[in-house]
């Protein structure tokens, strides 16, 4: 047994057998922001076999207050979070196979990625993606761990297909927080608390100690010294379209996914083209430069500026329009630059 895991092996809940299981397991991390980077580091240090990280964004200065894998250099280089996380995680534990996926976690992508995944961890900032995760979890019988935080408040719930209610069931019972980090801010201790709940649940699942997995919905407010744990067994709904008797997995239908999204925490709109294709960033940079745009880039993206407008373009045609929450205005900028 590798000496680096000796203290973890001494823990009775894991032991040598559990560590062997952890080293063979594959975790899919959806999101590489505050929750994603923290969970990814915990599991990488724990010695998981494989980690796939999906994220659509890049590192900005406002991330550094709570997103623990990133540095000021990542901000300067505007590295995609998934790529920056992969680089840092490989430096932490070179035995772990880390795959970075730079893009939006759409239903087709999720269905492609989960084929050999053991656990999914939710580290997203929007319910549209969470509902798609929930449906793909139910369709392929893969457990996943919900987590969210804003301000000093956080929550987490472990979802095991066939045993616990799914997120779609929960929404009939529990009103979810309406605030975002844009409107309510966020403090790092709340992030760390959710990470602790999620990563602990992930380790239980990875060692296959299913009796230890928490089946209650946990929420807390660190500033107000509140902690709640709700039993959710009765929330399971037989008519649920995601996990019920006549399930249809409605959130895996791409037609139900919006093509424009206002990103959490910033005046930024993401625009995703209706058809996927690969852009030549080098060619595009040359074209935009001749039109008078200020263009900077790296192998993953282009940052395009003209006056007060700024757009970041990824090689799959996806773009982030900064400085606006107006979807119509954002689309007009996108169409003006990319056609």
Q: Collapse the DSSP code of 103 into the 3-class scheme (helix H, G, I; strand E, B; otherwise coil) and give the result.
A: coil
The answer for 244, left when phi > 0, alpha when psi is -120 to 50, beta otherwise, is beta
Per-residue pLDDT tens over the stretch 36-90: 999 999 999 999 999 999 998 899 998 999 999 999 999 999 999 999 999 999 9
Q: Return the pLDDT at 81.
A: 96
**Which pLDDT belongs to residue 7?**
96
Phi, psi of 154 (to 5 degrees): -150, 165
Mean per-residue pLDDT of the chain: 91
Helix (H, G, I), strand (E, B) or coil at 196: helix
Q: Domains, the chain, ranges and CATH?
A: 3-255 (3.40.50.720), 259-338 (3.30.310.10)
* pLDDT reading at 179 higher than 70: no
Torsion-angle region of 202 (φ positive above 0: left; ψ -120 to 50: alpha; else: beta): alpha
CA-closest candidate to residue 312, choices 304, 290, 262: 304
Contact 35, 149 (CB under 8 A): yes
- The b/e string for 200-225 (b: 16+ C-beta within 10 A; e otherwise) is bbbbbbbbeeeeebbeebbbbebeee
Between 153 and 309, the more confident residue is: 153
For 116-150, how does the pLDDT look when each residue is reduced to its tens digit (9 = 90+)?
999 999 999 878 889 999 999 999 999 999 999 99
Tell me: pLDDT of 256 over 90: no
């Amino acid at each position: 047994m590798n000496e680096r895991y000796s203290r973890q092996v001494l823990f009775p809940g894991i032991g040598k057998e559990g560590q062997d299981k952890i080293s063979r397991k594959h975790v899919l991390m959806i999101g590489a922001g505050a929750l994603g980077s923290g969970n990814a580091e915990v599991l990488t240090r724990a010695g998981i076999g494989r980690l796939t990280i999906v994220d659509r964004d890049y590192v900005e200065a406002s991330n550094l207050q709570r997103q623990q894998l990133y540095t000021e250099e990542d901000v300067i280089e505007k590295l995609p979070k998934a790529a920056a996380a992969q680089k840092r995680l490989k430096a932490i534990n070179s035995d772990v196979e880390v795959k970075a996926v730079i893009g939006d976690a759409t239903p087709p992508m999720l269905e492609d990625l989960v084929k050999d995944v053991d656990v999914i961890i939710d580290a997203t900032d929007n319910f549209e993606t969470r509902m798609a995760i929930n449906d793909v979890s139910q369709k392929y019988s893969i457990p996943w761990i919900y987590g969210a935080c804003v301000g000093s408040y956080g929550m987490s719930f472990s979802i095991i297909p066939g045993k616990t209610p799914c997120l779609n069931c929960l929404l009939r019972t529990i009103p979810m927080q309406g605030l975002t980090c844009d409107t309510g801010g966020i403090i790092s201790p709340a992030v760390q608390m959710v990470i602790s709940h999620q990563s602990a649940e992930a380790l239980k699942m990875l060692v296959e100690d299913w009796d230890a997995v928490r089946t209650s919905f946990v929420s807390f407010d660190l500033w107000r010294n509140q902690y709640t744990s709700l039993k959710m067994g009765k929330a399971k709904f037989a008519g649920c379209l995601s996990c019920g008797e006549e399930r249809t997995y409605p959130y895996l239908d791409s037609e139900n996914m919006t093509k424009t999204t206002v990103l959490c925490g910033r005046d930024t709109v993401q625009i995703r083209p209706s058809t996927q294709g690969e852009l030549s960033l080098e060619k595009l940079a040359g074209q935009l430069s001749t039109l008078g745009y200020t263009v900077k880039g790296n192998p993953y993206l282009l940052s395009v500026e003209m006056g007060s407008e700024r757009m970041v373009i990824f090689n799959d045609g996806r773009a982030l329009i900064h400085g606006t929450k107006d979807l119509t205005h954002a689309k007009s900028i996108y169409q003006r630059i990319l056609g």
